[in-house]
């Protein structure tokens, strides 16, 4: 009897091991443990250094098992271009059985799977954002108008120190709110305070250890563990969003849209009931765009001013160029970027070093395909490691340091290397790239023209190590603000 039990146990272990063997010609990786997969091979708190270690061991295309599910990691410009550009539709899907999908009920444009509904919604978003001033003067007005509130806050802190985290989050939130909802909100309004808090918490949870455990071990998903906070946050956001949508429905004039939400409601009227456009979809759709337009921009700004304070010679050179180009002008315009090669280089270097969304948003193969000679079955989760491209040896003059020379040629002209892809690439490329580029330029130029930003004497050594999550966030810091003598 004892022998039979031992034999049965061994057979079970053998079968489990067979199940977890990599398929033929699948990308290599570390040994897969039964049930656990490769969870023990990476830090659940911040696995980015582990991903780099595994890239050195197994190459630019390797695989890890998250529990029983395989994931292929893509590293380096060559592999990234093959997957995201050359074979874009093969890699344009989204995995649908993850923590982030469950929290959002698989709604919204960011996490939707590749298909007709996603294509319709993305096409609609691009067209509507363009019609509401993306890249036009009206968008500049919204950004510069919001900057008055930021500068008023800074004026009150002249000679003192200020914690900029909430200020930049609120400003970025209000800019996208004007596009989505046609209005801005006071910084103490519930809409701003609650949404920004929920976004910040969920961004940390979504790629954190509890999300990894949720994705690896489905049997724990109904337990009252810390990841349940994310579900509560999404419900809170949806409740607020639905209240705003109800206000829009009561005040809109069909055919005369004031903002993105009105446009969506008009599109619903046009398409009728037999459509992928619905109020339920709209609430998560608006939250998707709001989150994407708030968290990434604010964290990039926070990174930018952290480095400008701690590299004062770079800040001073920016200000010299700004003063020269804007002499006699009341304010900056987006077109001024063409006459500011150094400022352009600094902003792009901030984006590169901020690496705000280090693993992009996870992809999924839509068919059996190949990548760098490996066979990738349909439905395989794909994780683009943007860190590996933004810091790739051979692609940058100074891959591991903050240096605007990465974006300047020998003549001092602005150039953008092929490896610059903080917005990812291909059909899933970030919807808000145009808005983000305009925001970063106008906000940074406007503030640097008026203020000098100084690392406080009593703040100790700066810590550049970011807090890991879906987005990388600089650790909280304070800035000392002085009014520039030339202003």
Q: What's the CA gap between 357 and 421, in Å, rounded? A: 11
Cβ-contact 476, 167 below 8 angstroms: no
Per DSSP, the chain holds a count of helices (H) and strands (E) of 16, 9
Whether residue 2 is predicted with pLDDT greater than 60 in this model: the reply is no
Percent of the chain scored above 70 by pLDDT?
94
Homologous superfamily assigned to 38-483: Cytochrome P450 (1.10.630.10)
The residue among 211, 179, 376 whose CA lies nearest residue 294 is 179
* pLDDT for position 396: 97
228-261 tens-digit pLDDT: 998 899 889 888 888 888 888 899 889 888 888 9
Average pLDDT of every residue of the chain: 88
The residue among 197, 161, 149 whose CA lies nearest residue 443 is 149
Q: What's the CA gap between 317 and 15, in Å, rounded? A: 64
Dig out the tokens for 240 from the structure: 């607020």
Whether residue 191 is predicted with pLDDT greater than 90 in this model: the reply is no
Report the range out of 104-108, 240-244, 476-480 with the highest average pLDDT: 476-480
* pLDDT for position 486: 62
Which pTM does this prediction carry?
0.90
Find the mean pLDDT for residues 195-205.
82
Dig out the tokens for 480 from the structure: 């000392």
Helix, strand, coil shares of the chain as percentages rounded to 5? 55, 10, 35
Whether residue 294 is predicted with pLDDT greater than 80 in this model: the reply is yes
Whether residue 76 is predicted with pLDDT greater than 90 in this model: the reply is yes
pLDDT band at 364 (very low <50, low <70, confident <90, very high): very high
Strands, sheet with 61-66, edge to edge from the N-terminal-most edge strand:
61-66, 69-74, 381-384, 363-364
Cβ-contact 418, 112 below 8 angstroms: no
Find the mean pLDDT for residues 379-397.
95
Write the DSSP assignment of 379-444 as a string of letters: T-EEEE-HHHHHT-BTTBSSTTS--GGGGB-TTS-B---TT--TT--GGGS-TTHHHHHHHHHHHH
Only one residue has tokens 């096409």, namely 123
pLDDT band at 449 (very low <50, low <70, confident <90, very high): very high
Cβ-contact 380, 365 below 8 angstroms: yes
* pLDDT for position 388: 95
């Amino acid at each position: 009897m004892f022998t039979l039990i031992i034999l049965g146990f061994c057979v079970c272990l053998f079968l489990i091991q067979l199940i977890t063997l990599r398929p033929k010609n699948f990308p290599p990786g570390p040994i897969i443990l039964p049930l656990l997969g490769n969870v023990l091979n990476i830090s659940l708190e911040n696995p980015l250094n582990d991903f780099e270690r595994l890239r050195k061991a197994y190459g630019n295309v390797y695989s890890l098992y998250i529990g029983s599910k395989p994931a292929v990691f893509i590293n380096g410009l060559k592999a990234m271009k093959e997957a995201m550009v050359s074979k874009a539709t093969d890699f344009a899907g989204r995995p649908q059985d993850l923590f982030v999908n469950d929290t959002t009920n698989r709604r919204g444009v960011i996490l939707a799977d590749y298909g007709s509904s996603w294509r319709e919604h993305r096409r609609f978003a691009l067209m509507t954002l363009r019609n509401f001033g993306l890249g036009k003067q009206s968008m500049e007005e919204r950004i510069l108008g919001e900057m008055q509130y930021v500068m008023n806050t800074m004026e009150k802190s002249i000679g003192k120190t200020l914690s900029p985290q909430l200020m930049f989050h609120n400003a970025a939130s209000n800019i996208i709110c004007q596009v989505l909802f046609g209005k801005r909100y006071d910084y103490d309004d519930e809409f701003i305070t609650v949404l920004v808090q929920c976004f910040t918490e969920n961004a940390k949870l979504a790629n954190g250890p509890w999300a990894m455990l949720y994705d690896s071990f489905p049997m724990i998903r109904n337990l009252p563990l810390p990841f349940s906070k994310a579900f509560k946050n999404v419900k809170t956001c949806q409740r607020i969003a639905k209240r705003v949508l109800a206000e829009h429905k009561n005040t809109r004039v069909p055919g005369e849209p004031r903002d993105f939400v009105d446009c969506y409601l008009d599109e619903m009227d046009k398409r009728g009931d037999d459509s992928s456009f619905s109020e339920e979809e709209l609430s998560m759709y608006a939250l998707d765009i709001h989150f994407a337009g708030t968290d990434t921009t604010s964290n990039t700004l926070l990174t930018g001013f952290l480095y400008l304070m701690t590299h004062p010679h770079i800040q001073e050179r920016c200000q010299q160029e700004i003063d020269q180009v804007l002499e006699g002008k009341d304010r900056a315009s987006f077109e001024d970027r063409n006459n500011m090669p150094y400022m352009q280089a600094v902003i792009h270097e901030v984006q590169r070093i901020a690496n705000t969304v280090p693993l992009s948003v996870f992809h999924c193969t839509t068919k059996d395909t190949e990548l760098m000679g490996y066979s990738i079955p349909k439905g395989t989760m794909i994780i683009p490691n943007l860190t590996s491209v933004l810091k790739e040896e051979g692609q940058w003059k100074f891959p591991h340091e903050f240096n605007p020379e990465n974006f300047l040629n020998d003549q001092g002209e602005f150039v953008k290397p092929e490896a610059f892809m903080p917005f990812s690439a291909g059909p899933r490329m970030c919807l808000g790239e145009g808005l983000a580029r305009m925001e970063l330029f106008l906000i940074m130029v406007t503030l640097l023209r008026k203020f000098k930003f100084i690392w406080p004497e009593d703040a100790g050594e700066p810590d550049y190590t970011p807090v890991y999550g879906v987005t990388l966030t600089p650790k909280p810091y304070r800035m000392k603000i002085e009014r520039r003598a030339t202003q």
